[in-house]
Structure formats: structure tokens, C-alpha cells
Chains A and B, each alone.
Chain A
Amino acid sequence: MTRDDILKKIQIKFGGRIRKIFDRSPKRIYCDIDKNDIPEVVRFVFMDLGARFSIASGVDTPDGIEILYHFSFDRLGLVFSLRTILDGRNPEIESITPLMKGAEWIEREIHELLGVEFKNHPNMKPLLLPDDWPKDKFPLRRDFVQDIDKE
């Protein structure tokens, strides 16, 4: 399977639901989709196209919270990143952990650090932050103020 085959297959399968494909460089592709399409596209990329889940990263932007799911096509050395944007006040998305076990930790981490709700996550327990961490404070949000700075 070549790089073009992957792009073609994704376009045939999801066509109009893909908002933008950003063909950044020979080894990097970014693809913007709606958050509701994430489980279906992730399933296709992971199970049918056989990509390896590298990691997800969350970014707090002025437009909302962006989640990037990075997949690696190891045979091609290609990183394929699915990008979706969530409402900044009420970030909520379907969990992909039921599709692949490798996503469990990173969803827990994004939940803690950026306050994103992952619906139907099988094991949403604290991972990094202490158990008594305030429920409404998210360290990687733009509006987060570190108390320690006041010293």
C-alpha cells in the first residue's frame, strides 16, 4: 500500500465528511474531521489500514480544544494525524479505547490535563495528578494559573 492508496481509500470511504486534508510533507499528513466521525475513522485507519496508534495530543486553542490522533504507517514512515476540534466550554468526545487498548492512558491524561470528557471510556481513573486535585482545574488549559507563581 502506497501513500496515495491510503489517501484514496480514506477519501473513497469518508469523502464529504473529511473537512480538509493537509498534505504537509512526504512523511506527514494532517486530516481534519468532525468529532462525531472520530470512532469510525479511527477504526478504519487502525483496523483496516493497519496503522499503529502513536499517541494523541490535546491543544487548547482560541477556537476550542484540539485533539490530534497520531497514527504511524510504519512501512511508509508516514505519520498520519487526525485532527478534530471540541467546544472549549464543554469538550466531549467518544472514547477510542474500546477500539484499541493503547489509547487508555493518553485519554486519561488528556482528561486530567485538559478536562476533556471521553464518553464510554472503560477505566477513567486519575493517572498523573493527585487524587485531591481540584476537579475544575486543568493544567494545560490557557486560563490555568499556577499557584506557585505567587510565591
Chain B
Amino acid sequence: MSHKVSIPIGPYHPLQEEPEFYQLIVEGEQVVDIDVRIGWNHRGIEKLAEAKSFDQVIFLVERICGICSTSHPLASVQAIEDIDGIKVPERALYIRTIVAELERLHSHLLWVGLAGHFLGYNTVFMWGWKYREPILDIFEAITGNRNHYGMMKVGGVRRDIDEADIPWIIKQLDTLLPAIEMFRGAVLDDPVLHARLKGVGVLTRQDAIDYSALGPTARASGLAIDVRRDEPYAAYDRVKWNVVTQESGDVFAKTMVRILEMAESVEIVKQCLERLPKGEIDAKVKDISPGEGIGRHEAPRGEVFHYVRSDGSNSPSRYKVRAPTYMNFPTFKTTVIGETIADATIILAAIDPCYCCTERMTVVDNKTKKMVFTPYDLIKLSQEKTHRLLHRFGINDHPHTMTGTA
């Protein structure tokens, strides 16, 4: 008799931030197959873009995602500028870089926090989000908003950075460096984290190529791809920084890539602020000629790809958006299969799929249709595994800190 049980995850659940549907097929504790279905959040943005003017499109794509809220606008303005080869003022290029890197910082910190929570380290969750706060304060000072900054504009940026703010911003960033160092040390030194993350959810280099994986997901598998270096835009070729890669392709490698990238981002922002050239911030573009353009930006999760076609009117005749998670999602097919349900949580979270999938999980018995595990139970399952490991390693731990609310 087969003991296969299918686990429908989603599409709607009070604990989910976004609707999504996974079907995990498990045999005992082991995941033997996975199927993903998207579309519950399909808003027809590409179709909508055809009815908006080029100026409005930037605002429209900013609403694709709240976490990546400057990645899409940046790719979008670059795609539109690519049609006519528009030259953007130097100062605007630096400001674009600063905003884009601050976004990477807050996004990676958010991920570190969530990953900590899923593993039962709720202190990490609190810390990650605590250190994210100063970044959001910087955003508020520069753009006026903690999220949805509205900074990008065809031919430049909308707001200038006040010179008087710069020393304060650098001071805020400097407080972040010891925190990043602490996270790095914590991951490298903790035997429990090694046991939970190493060799788990491995994406091999060849699979990363076959699936055309992107961003930290690809870089953790040894693929040194990064649009910021490969096709330099904004001010990325004017500052010194490194592309971070790891070789092992497991969740540990993906974690390390993100933590090390944060340190690079701090350096990029600081260099940009120190060298910020004076001058205009807007090329004052009037019309867009007929033609087509491609804009790319390395978002926190990987390359964002925008393709735009213009027929000479003031709105695009076709607009195509490809977010990085679109390419990273299908890699679950290789990374989750063969692992246990307790590890599925962190593996699904490891590609940072816009928001972690964990809270979308529910286990249902196929015959009785009765809920076996709620999404909350699955996080608990993952947390309890860490708990057991802590015991085995003889590390003191307080049970009440292990079960925070989701």
C-alpha cells in the first residue's frame, strides 16, 4: 500500500500574506514531488501598462511588489531609456544606486529575520527587523516614504539627496556593519545552524544553469552572475565592490551570500554618498520614439527584466515584466524533493520568494480531507527540529522562546 499524502498549501489562508498554491506529495516524512500553481495574485499589470502613459507606467510597476518597490521602477526606466539611448545625469545615477542598494539591505535583513523565525531562532527575527529599521529611516529621509519611494523617473530621479543629511546617513550605515558581522559570525559558528542548513535543499550548478536561476539563488550555486557587474548601469561601475558567490548550493550557501552581500551594499552606498557629484538630477525627457528597449536591474532576489515596445505614442504598445522569483520558483522541483517536511519550510524560504512560503502550508490527509498540519504547525515542526538539535548538542535553550506566533 502506498502511503503517499498530498499536501495542498494554499491558495488562501488567513496566515498567508499572498495567495499561492503548492502541492507537496509526501511519503512518510519525505517529500517525493512538488507542484506549484501561481495566478491567484495575477493583476494583469502588463495589460494595464498598455493603457498608461510612460510616466504612469513607472508608478504602476512600483506597485508590483512592496519589498522590491524600487527594483521594478529602475528596470522600467532603464528599458524606456534604452529605446532612445537617453543619457541620465551623473548625480541621478548615483542616487539610483543608493536607493537600489538600500533596498537590497532592507530586503536581505527582512529575509534573515524570517529565516531565523522559521528555524526557531526568534531572537534573530527580532534582531533582523530591528536593524532593518534604520534603513527604513534613511529611506524616509531621502524619499519621504518608508516604502514605495517613487524615486525613479525616465531620464533621472524625482528627488535630490540633501547634502546636510549625508553625514547622518553614513552614521546610520556604520551602525549596521557590526550587526552584519554578528549575523555572519552567528551563522558560521552555530553547530545547530550548520546541522539545519548544510547539505539541505541543494541546487547544483548544472541545475542552476538549466533552470536559469538568478540572484543569490544562482550565486550560492557557484554561478557568478550579477547584472550590476555584467551590464553596469547607474553608478555600479564607478564604485568598488565584489560579487559574492558560494559553491555548495545549499540553504547555508544562500544564507551566506545574502549576509555577505549586505556588507557589500553598505560599502556601495557609502562610496556613492562620499562621491556624489553635483549637478542636475533630471534629463527632462519629452518624447519616446518608436522602438523597443530592455531594462535590467539586479534586485535583491535576482535579475529583473523589463521589455518595452513603443509605437511613438505616449504609452507602451507592449510591456513585459519578468521578476526573478519567476525563474527561481521552478528550482523547487530539484531542491525540495527527497527532503523532509520539516526542512521544506526553510528550503522554500531560501529562494526568498517575495514573502516566505512557509505560512502558506497546510497538510491535509488525502482520504479524510482533514487538516493534519496547519501552516503554523509546519513552522513549529521546523522549529522543533532545531530544538531537538540544540538538545543533542547540549546547548541551553528556553522552550518558551521557540514558539513565537507566526
Contact status A25-B85, CB under 8 Å: yes
- Chain B positions within 8 Å of A78 at CB level: 231
A55: contacting residue among B210, B227, B231, B322, CB under 8 A: B322
The number of chain B residues touching the other chain, given as a range, is 35 or more
- Chain A positions within 8 Å of B42 at CB level: 128-129
Known: A54-B212, A100-B210, A128-B38. Contact between A27 and B231, CB under 8 A? yes
Contact status B39-A55, CB under 8 Å: no
- Chain A positions within 8 Å of B406 at CB level: none
- Chain B positions within 8 Å of A74 at CB level: 225, 230
- Asked if B146 is at the interface of the complex by the 8 Å CB criterion, the answer is no
Q: How far is the CA of A55 from the CA of B231 in the complex (A)?
A: 17
State the A residues within 8 Å of B (CB).
25, 27-28, 30, 52-55, 57, 59-60, 68, 70, 72, 74-79, 81, 100-102, 104-106, 126-130, 139-140
- Chain A positions within 8 Å of B309 at CB level: 59
Q: Which residue of B lies closest to A68 (CB)?
A: B307
Q: How far is the CA of A74 from the CA of B224 in the complex (A)?
A: 9
Interface residue SS majority, chain B: mixed
Contact status A59-B318, CB under 8 Å: yes
Contact status B330-A55, CB under 8 Å: no
A54: contacting residue among B39, B232, B322, B329, CB under 8 A: B322
Q: How far is the CA of A105 from the CA of B318 in the complex (A)?
A: 20
Given contacts A54-B303, A102-B213, 13 further A-B contacts (CB under 8 A): A25-B85, A54-B212, A55-B327, A57-B320, A59-B309, A74-B230, A77-B227, A79-B294, A100-B210, A102-B210, A102-B330, A127-B38, A130-B39
B212: contacting residue among A75, A102, A126, CB under 8 A: A102
Q: How far is the CA of A76 from the CA of B232 in the complex (A)?
A: 10
Contact status A77-B225, CB under 8 Å: no
B307: contacting residue among A52, A57, A72, A130, CB under 8 A: A57
- Asked if B47 is at the interface of the complex by the 8 Å CB criterion, the answer is yes
Contact status B294-A28, CB under 8 Å: yes
- Chain A positions within 8 Å of B329 at CB level: 105
- Asked if B37 is at the interface of the complex by the 8 Å CB criterion, the answer is yes
- Chain B positions within 8 Å of A126 at CB level: 37, 39
